[in-house]
């Protein structure tokens, strides 16, 4: 090995890379994953309590997100262990050949990178499904809303998939200059995919929350009930989590050099993709349960409100925007109240 190669890989043997980086990465990731385990368990419990058969798509999407997050945690731990062992061995023996081989053409590393790059795409697609369906329901099952967001989601995931394929091809052997160029281009495309994904999820959250706000506004203050405004607040707050984590990931990876990253935030992006929609389900269901127990301050049933703004059979499905059923919003038990005559046309 030449001197220039030795100097090139010396930053990998820094204390921050060998010790601090893996410890911080695994610690933060495990804390987030532990929270996700508790949240997922509670979510499944609530969905089963409300009837799984009527929400099988949401259950499968939620389970898929959890499986992808679990896989990402396993992949990240494997990657950190592989890298730490090679770096520590090279630092101890001063033999840089294993480190050089690992950095340029290690098969196990490529497999780990392949899984680590594919799982975020699958998780993002599952999260998009939940968010798109919720938006579609809130907008009254309008195809002019559904088709554009599906096309946008497909485009985002397609770009990320292309970047992943290019990255795997380029990193097979970075000793070849053409492969190195492919890998660099793939990383740039991957960054664009992350930016587009964050923008899309943010827009989808605002589209859903904005529609709910507009419906309550057109229905008038007397119909702006607790359950609807609460759902809007929870969707906006929890829906912002995934885009914000992705923005933090992009900021960190583009601020620090490759050998100076204090933490690998990619697993947190995958965890956030699962936590965000799951958190919406749990928060809304628990909030409705608390509202059921409050017989004094509970406002009129939300089914009055929802039926009045969308007087069709499908309007009853607007109550599923939280992806969970609740005894607060049973249309069959709704008392007849005066209906705003032109509210539907107004929204």
Domain boundaries in the chain?
Answer: 3-346
Q: Are 163 and 333 in contact (CB under 8 A)?
A: no
Taken in order 219, 223, 228, 232, is the CA torsion positive or negative? positive
CB atoms within 10 A of CB 336: 7
Q: Which residue has the tokens 């005559």?
A: 341
CA 207 distance to own-chain centroid: 17
pLDDT tens for each residue of the chain, 347 residues long: 444 456 666 767 777 788 888 999 999 999 999 999 999 999 988 887 766 554 577 788 889 999 999 999 999 999 999 988 888 888 888 888 888 888 888 999 999 999 999 999 999 999 999 899 989 988 999 999 999 999 999 999 999 999 999 999 999 998 899 999 999 999 999 999 999 999 999 999 999 989 888 887 776 655 455 667 777 888 888 889 999 999 999 999 888 877 778 899 999 999 999 999 999 889 888 876 665 555 434 443 433 333 333 333 343 344 444 333 333 333 333 333 333 333 333 23
Give the Cα separation of 288 and 321 in Å (integer): 13
Give the per-residue pLDDT at 49.
77
Of 323, 292, 276, whose CA–CA distance to 36 is shortest? 276
Tokens 């809130």, located at residue: 138
pLDDT computed for residue 36 by the predictor: 97
The whole-number pLDDT of residue 93 equals 84
pTM for the model: 0.80
Task: Give the Cα separation of 275 and 284 in Å (integer).
Answer: 14
Question: How far is residue 163 from each of residues 79, 114, 167, 194, 322, measured CA to CA in Å?
Answer: 20, 11, 6, 11, 33
User: What is the per-residue pLDDT for 17?
Assistant: 81
Q: Is the separation of the CB atoms in 124 and 197 below 8 Å?
A: yes
């Amino acid at each position: 090995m030449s001197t220039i190669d030795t100097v090139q890989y010396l930053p990998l043997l820094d204390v921050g890379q060998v010790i601090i980086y893996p410890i911080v990465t695994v610690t933060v990731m495990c804390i987030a994953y532990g929270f996700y385990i508790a949240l997922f368990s509670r979510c499944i419990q609530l969905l089963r309590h409300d009837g799984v058969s009527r929400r099988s798509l949401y259950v499968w999407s939620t389970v898929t997100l959890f499986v992808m997050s679990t896989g990402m945690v396993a992949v990240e731990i494997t990657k950190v262990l592989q890298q730490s062992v090679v770096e520590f061995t090279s630092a101890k023996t001063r033999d840089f050949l294993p480190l050089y081989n690992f950095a340029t053409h290690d098969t196990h590393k490529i497999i780990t990178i392949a899984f680590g790059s594919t799982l975020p795409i699958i998780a993002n697609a599952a999260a998009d499904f939940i968010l798109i369906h919720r938006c579609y329901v809130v907008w009254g099952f309008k195809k002019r809303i559904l088709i554009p967001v599906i096309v946008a989601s497909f485009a985002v995931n397609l770009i990320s998939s292309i970047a992943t394929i290019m990255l795997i091809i380029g990193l097979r052997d970075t000793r070849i200059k053409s492969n190195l160029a492919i890998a660099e281009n793939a990383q740039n495309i991957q960054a664009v995919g992350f930016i587009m994904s964050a923008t899309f999820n943010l827009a989808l959250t605002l589209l859903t929350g904005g529609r709910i706000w507009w419906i309550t506004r057109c229905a008038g203050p007397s119909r702006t009930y607790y359950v609807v405004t609460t759902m809007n607040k929870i969707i906006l707050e929890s829906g912002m989590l995934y885009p914000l984590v992705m923005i933090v990931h992009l900021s960190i990876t583009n601020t620090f050099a490759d050998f100076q990253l204090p933490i690998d935030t990619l697993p947190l992006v995958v965890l956030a993709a699962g936590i965000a929609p799951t958190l919406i389900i749990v928060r809304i269901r628990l909030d409705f349960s608390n509202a059921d127990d409050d017989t004094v301050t509970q406002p009129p049933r939300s089914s009055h409100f929802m039926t009045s703004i969308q007087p069709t059979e499908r309007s009853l499905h607007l109550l599923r925007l939280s992806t969970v059923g609740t005894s607060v919003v049973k249309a069959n038990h709704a008392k007849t109240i005066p209906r705003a005559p032109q509210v539907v046309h107004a929204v």
